[in-house]
Amino acid sequence: MLELRLVQGSLLKKVLEAVKDLVNDANFDCSTTGFSLQAMDSSHVALVSLLLRSEGFEHYRCDRNLSMGMNLGNMSKMLKCAGNDDIITIKADDGSDTVTFMFESPTQDKIADFEMKLMDIDSEHLGIPDAEYHSIVRMPSGEFSRICKDLSSIGDTVVISVTKEGVKFSTAGDIGTANIVLRQNTTVDKPEDAIVIEMNEPVSLSFALRYMNSFTKATPLSETVTISLSSELPVVVEYKVAEMGYIRYYLAPKIEEEEDTKPE
């Protein structure tokens, strides 16, 4: 039997919004450790990895490991029916082909049960090895979202270049080119406004803006985003989920021919 009670139910709503544009169907895996999901996007280019640790739930009961295949569009439809202050409980009986989402209003006057059919989904669980990254940038998530959206109005590809002084986002398109430079800045009033650059080695990598824009759907989850870059590895774009976990997006760099790589 499975029963996971999340007082801050809006987190689950936001998590779904952060995943559902990228992935249609996926298995949620439930173990004593936590509630997690790992899935490739539908075009098999990007990978999403979500973890909500069991300690983050007010009540967490998971008698045995369970993998529940869900259509994320349908799940999102149901979670949109939860109020932002509602407590959400996920319930499933062993061997059942349904999962129930229960929404309790803070005053307990309104209680809703939404029962959704589960699906059988083939999935290969990819091992993601821990890696050392050449450069790690931490910045306000809203700023990252704004930059990806702005550059999309000019081009399709963003080149992210990190030096000690700052990080540069560049693109080029039919109407012209754009370069946006953020300087390292740790002397800010609010720590979440800082732009922190840990650079072991400078990097300059190209990515499809389409995916970056999908990743920024996670912006409401966290005030900061961490971007980890290495020339030989997929970029990791990570948003923390309160104190209880994270959502991480992985995307391989674009290998472009010489003549396409000069956005500036």
Q: State the residues that interact with a second copy by CB under 8 A.
A: 71, 74, 77-78, 80-81, 98, 107-117, 143, 150-151, 153-154, 175-183, 185, 195
Q: How many CA atoms lie within 13 A of 3 on its CB side?
A: 5
Is the Cβ of residue 32 or residue 98 nearer to a second copy in the bound state? 98
Shortest Å, Cβ 19 to a second copy: 17
Shortest Å, Cβ 8 to a second copy: 20
Residue 180 CB-density burial (10 A; 0-12 exposed, 13-18 middle, 19+ buried): middle
Strands of the sheet containing 87-92, edge to edge, are 59-62, 2-6, 87-92, 98-104
Shortest Å, Cβ 260 to a second copy: 17
| 74 alpha carbon, distance to own chain's centre | 19
Shortest Å, Cβ 255 to a second copy: 25
Is the Cβ of residue 19 or residue 46 nearer to a second copy in the bound state? 19
Is the Cβ of residue 123 or residue 152 nearer to a second copy in the bound state? 152
How many residues does the structure list for the chain?
264
* Cβ atoms within 10 Å of 138's Cβ, excluding its own: 19
Shortest Å, Cβ 99 to a second copy: 9
Is the Cβ of residue 55 or residue 115 nearer to a second copy in the bound state? 115
Q: 17 — alpha (psi -120 to 50), left (phi > 0) or beta? A: alpha
Q: Taking the chain, what is the end-to-end CA distance rounded to the nearest angstrom?
A: 57
Shortest Å, Cβ 150 to a second copy: 4
Is the Cβ of residue 19 or residue 244 nearer to a second copy in the bound state? 19
Type of residue numbered 198? E
Is the Cβ of residue 181 or residue 242 nearer to a second copy in the bound state? 181
Which residues contact residue 9 at a Cβ distance below 8 angstroms, ignoring those fewer than 6 apart?
Answer: 82, 83, 84, 85, 86, 87, 88, 103
